[in-house]
Structure 1
Amino acid sequence: MEQTTSDALHKFRDMCLSETNWIECMSDGVQKEYQSINATDSVIAVKVVSNDFKDLPIEDVFNSIIDPDFHKEWDPLVIEWNVVDTKPENIKVIQMLVKVPVVTNREFVFDCEIATLFNEGVEERICRYESVDDNKYPVQNGYVRGTVGLSGYLVRKENDKVVVYCVGCSNVGGSIPKWIVNSMSKSAVPSMLKGLKEKVPNYNKWKNQQTK
């Protein structure tokens, strides 16, 4: 049975694989970093294409990304990750609470869509995030609501090697100037992928410990 997926998921996939509207700003042989401007609010979107996961099992890489409890192991800014609603096309609405240095902690509410696709024989696993109708859900007390633009992860098997595409585009909201938000975004995605790479080999051992 073919998996039902949204148009937004395919738009995200195309965003990952295309270089249109992206400016390459770094390439070191292992990964490439790109930047783009979100025309609606001048917040930078950052894309990283990483070959640093090439010898790791695709299942372990993707499970490390989508397991909400393990997410905290490689992204220390995450405080909580809760499912607050569901939508058609197997989309879950997530509330994520995060630490933000110096200022008030932030809360994000966004769609999370997960899919496995096969395109021209290439295995692709996708996790898409996007704040769509987050105003339906009340803001957590003590937090400031931020928003997530079209973001997420595409993990592919290319020539039997795992390649990770990660796009990050978020606005932490509040009164923080956009230039500070953009400065934070430029370093956040590469830093997260570095943390993820370090933790993926521990995923199965960690998972087994949770079930004991």
Structure 2
Amino acid sequence: MALQFTDEEFQAAWKELDEPQLDGGWELFTETMGVKIYRLYDKDTGLYEYKVFGILETCPADLCADVYMDLTYRKHWDSYVKELYEQDFGGQKAIYWEVKYPFPLSNRDYVYIRERRDLEVDARRIFVVLARSAPQTPCPETSGVIRVNDYKQSLAIESDGASGTKMFMHYFDNPGGSIPTWLINWAAKSGVPGFLKDMKKACNSYKSYCQKK
């Protein structure tokens, strides 16, 4: 079954590298490690969606894209991953991802599809990865784990002209259950910078990981 992403969705993602789309209520949420995080309130859920702009230093864009796509490697460097793999679920290829939540909260799991495209745009090389939940995928739910059915993420990256990566990320998920708002805000404020720090480390260690395989 083909992945359900359009050319327009890929184009909209990489264009934010040049012209961030922040009209309509986006507000600066936090700035850290050379990265700005904006958020937009979603009236339907009472949650926020996020946009992240910045530079990931010392990580070339092609390496960054490879690390981001490598699910097996992510289990080595992302301490929040409990399970992560791609599988054929009833004729549809999808990714299963279980995320560890701190006690006493239940873990969350996701079933989602994603697609990567390496684009040539006016002599620029831009890597775009789109992902979104696929609730229709026949993957049974696990007792004690809350299924997240509303998740989307887009990532666009290119060289910053030096040894790093210029990046844009757009992210929303509705974790379900009763999680205090302060915890969701804390996770967004500390989780994104923490993820970027881990990602940088992961990029620097990827070559030696691949040699050991």
Please give the TM-score of this superposition, normalised by the length of structure 1.
Answer: 0.81
Q: Distance in 1 between matches of 2:13 and 2:112?
A: 15
Query: Does the 8 Å CA contact 2:32/2:193 hold for their aligned counterparts?
Result: no
Q: Tell me the secondary structure at the aligned position of residue 167 of structure 2.
A: strand
Q: Distance in 1 between matches of 2:39 and 2:51?
A: 6
Matched, 1:81 2:79: no
Name the residue aligned to 2:167.
164
Counterparts in 2 of 1:194 and 1:151: CA distance versus 1, 3 Å: same
Matched, 1:189 2:189: no
Q: Distance in 2 between matches of 1:8 and 1:147?
A: 20
Q: Tell me the secondary structure at the aligned position of residue 169 of structure 1.
A: strand
Name the residue aligned to 2:131.
129
Q: Show CA shifts across 1:67-115 (max 9, x none).
A: 00111233210111122348xxxx9521101100011111111121111
Name the residue aligned to 1:114.
116
Pick aligned residue for 1:175 from 152, 175, 178: 178
Query: Does the 8 Å CA contact 1:92/1:112 hold for their aligned counterparts?
Result: no
Name the residue aligned to 1:48.
52
Identity %: 21
Q: Distance in 2 between matches of 1:112 and 1:96?
A: 12
Q: Distance in 1 between matches of 2:150 and 2:200?
A: 23
Structure 1 residue 168 displacement after superposition: 2.7
Counterparts in 2 of 1:105 and 1:154: CA distance versus 1, 3 Å: same
Q: Distance in 1 between matches of 2:88 and 2:12?
A: 23
Structure 1 residue 178 displacement after superposition: 4.4
Structure 1 residue 204 displacement after superposition: 1.2
Q: Distance in 2 between matches of 1:5 and 1:33?
A: 25
Counterparts in 2 of 1:11 and 1:147: CA distance versus 1, 3 Å: farther
Q: Distance in 2 between matches of 1:47 and 1:92?
A: 27
Query: Does the 8 Å CA contact 1:169/1:185 hold for their aligned counterparts?
Result: no
**RMSD value, Cα:** 2.8
Counterparts in 2 of 1:119 and 1:23: CA distance versus 1, 3 Å: farther
Equivalent pairs, count: 203
